[in-house]
Structure 1
Amino acid sequence: MKVTFFSHSTCLLEIHDKYLLIDPFFSGIPVFHNVNFIKFFKKIDYILLTHAHYDHVCDVELFSCKFDNVLIISNYEISNYFHKKGIKTYGINYGSFISFPFGKLKYVWAAHSSVFNDGTYGGNPGGFLLHTDEGNLYISGDTSVMYEMNLIPSFGKLKLSILPIGGKYTMDIEEAIMASDFLKSEKILGVHYDTFEDIKIDREQAKKKFFEKGKELILLEKGKTIYI
């Protein structure tokens, strides 16, 4: 499995020949102003949306116009919102694993909020637990640490957890370490930090704190990739 980080919480997963884009947010970031970021992508099969906040959904329509066969996967309310705009969607909610060509996907809990910029209710915020023949991945979405995270490893050992670490709106470094303990996860890709002034972190100090707990915190530059 190939994981590429682009911005904020936006990542691209490549699983065999399937391409999954997570929470696309480019337009609202200064570094991408006047940049045709769509050209970075040759193919998108699915877009996974954790919740309805602008910094996670603002470029969904741009990508759906470029890749007309893309399928949005999110909770019922978000899926219904984009379905009304003529975009193909697959609505799910907290429940069982659902099989897709790339593997099994489960929508899981997140302690956050969820509303579109126009005030439309975005349903329950969540994350995704992804099981594939290349390993298992947990995408927490925007969340505080939750005791429910203890349930995640009972479904299968994780190769990677994608966790927010910027604080204020989500977990900070210390809470993300606690979450990784609940998840029994040793390898963490940090997201949702440094995009704005109020979620700036000390990167080296963050890595050190994870290392002291026997864990690896991965902080990727824009466009960089890891393989798991």
Structure 2
Amino acid sequence: MVSFTYYGHACFLLDDGQHKVICDPFLTGNPKAAVKMEDVEADYILISHAHGDHLGDAPEIAARTGAALVGIPEVLGLCEERVPGLKQFPMNLGGSLTLPFGKVRMTLAQHSSGVPGGVACGYVIYIGGLKIYFAGDTALFTDMQLIGKKDDLDYAILPVGDNYTMGLEDAALAAQLLNARHVIPVHYNTWPVINQDVRHYKEITEALTPAEVHIVEPGATLKM
């Protein structure tokens, strides 16, 4: 059993009962944060790109908890500048990394990276017998179909806020391309510019695809 706990914006925790994997821990300064940076526990921290609302508190959480950072080398370089000596697993697009909880595979994302020389990414996370795709920040792109073809996805965690990422309609098409059994929308309603009617997203995605859409409020936990 894997639990998904949503901390707000694009930050969430995956917990298989033995390992805690947190993604994009933007908590300090996040008006929707459901937990304080000081209270987060983690064994691994996955970072999709270097924008402040995704890199967030990653170096400080890693320093306090001993968690290892996973990300693009240029992004991890920023973490090293802030807190030297952190445990790191640098990766790049298309690469896979075996870790004690399972495996992560780094995927393409269509988005700016927030650091010179870097690229934005997503991840397929193999944990607790599940395959969970975290898109990071991205536009819709047709190669999402390849991601779903390579991995029989149980869950897709997709941004739906529009303006900086896909909006509702494009994220519904992304769910169709990925062919995941379940979808969790994130990256919405943090600020007015990305306010969305997420229940409408659930309606259009479930009408377009066989997927079940789970709306998880900040602070809530979904048993996967």
Structure-2-length-normalised TM-score: 0.91
Secondary structure of the residue aligned to 2:79 is helix
Task: Kindly indicate whether the alpha-carbon contact (under 8 Å) linking 1:16 and 1:102 is maintained by their aligned counterparts in 2.
Answer: no
Structure 2 counterpart of 1:77: 74
**Deviation, structure 1 residue 100:** 0.6
Unaligned runs of 5+ in 1: none
Q: Would the alpha carbon gap of residues 198 and 152 (structure 1) be closer, same or farther in structure 2, given more than 3 Å must change?
A: same
Task: Kindly indicate whether the alpha-carbon contact (under 8 Å) linking 1:92 and 1:107 is maintained by their aligned counterparts in 2.
Answer: yes
Question: How many residues are aligned here?
Answer: 220
Distance 1:98 1:203 in 2: 33
Secondary structure of the residue aligned to 2:113 is coil
**Deviation, structure 1 residue 40:** 4.0
Residue among 178, 186, 192 paired with 1:183: 178
Distance 1:201 1:125 in 2: 23
Determine if the alignment matches structure 1 residue 226 to structure 2 residue 222: yes
Distance 2:179 2:201 in 1: 19
| Match runs of 1:44-59 below 5 Å | 44-59=42-57
Tell me how large the CA RMSD over aligned residues is: 1.8
Determine if the alignment matches structure 1 residue 207 to structure 2 residue 202: yes
1:167-225 deviation digits (Å, cap 9, x = unpaired): 11101111111111111113110000000101101132222212222432222111111
Distance 1:94 1:207 in 2: 30
Distance 2:137 2:196 in 1: 16
| Match runs of 1:94-105 below 5 Å | 94-105=93-104
Unaligned runs of 5+ in 2: none
Distance 2:55 2:127 in 1: 25
**Deviation, structure 1 residue 98:** 1.6
The amino acid across from 1:141 in the alignment is: G
Task: Kindly indicate whether the alpha-carbon contact (under 8 Å) linking 1:98 and 1:104 is maintained by their aligned counterparts in 2.
Answer: yes
Structure 2 counterpart of 1:9: 10
Distance 1:123 1:225 in 2: 32
| Match runs of 1:99-138 below 5 Å | 99-115=98-114, 120-121=115-116, 123-138=118-133
**Deviation, structure 1 residue 64:** 2.2
Distance 1:36 1:96 in 2: 31
Task: Kindly indicate whether the alpha-carbon contact (under 8 Å) linking 1:82 and 1:89 is maintained by their aligned counterparts in 2.
Answer: no
Q: Would the alpha carbon gap of residues 122 and 220 (structure 1) be closer, same or farther in structure 2, given more than 3 Å must change?
A: farther
Structure 2 counterpart of 1:163: 158
**Deviation, structure 1 residue 122:** 6.1
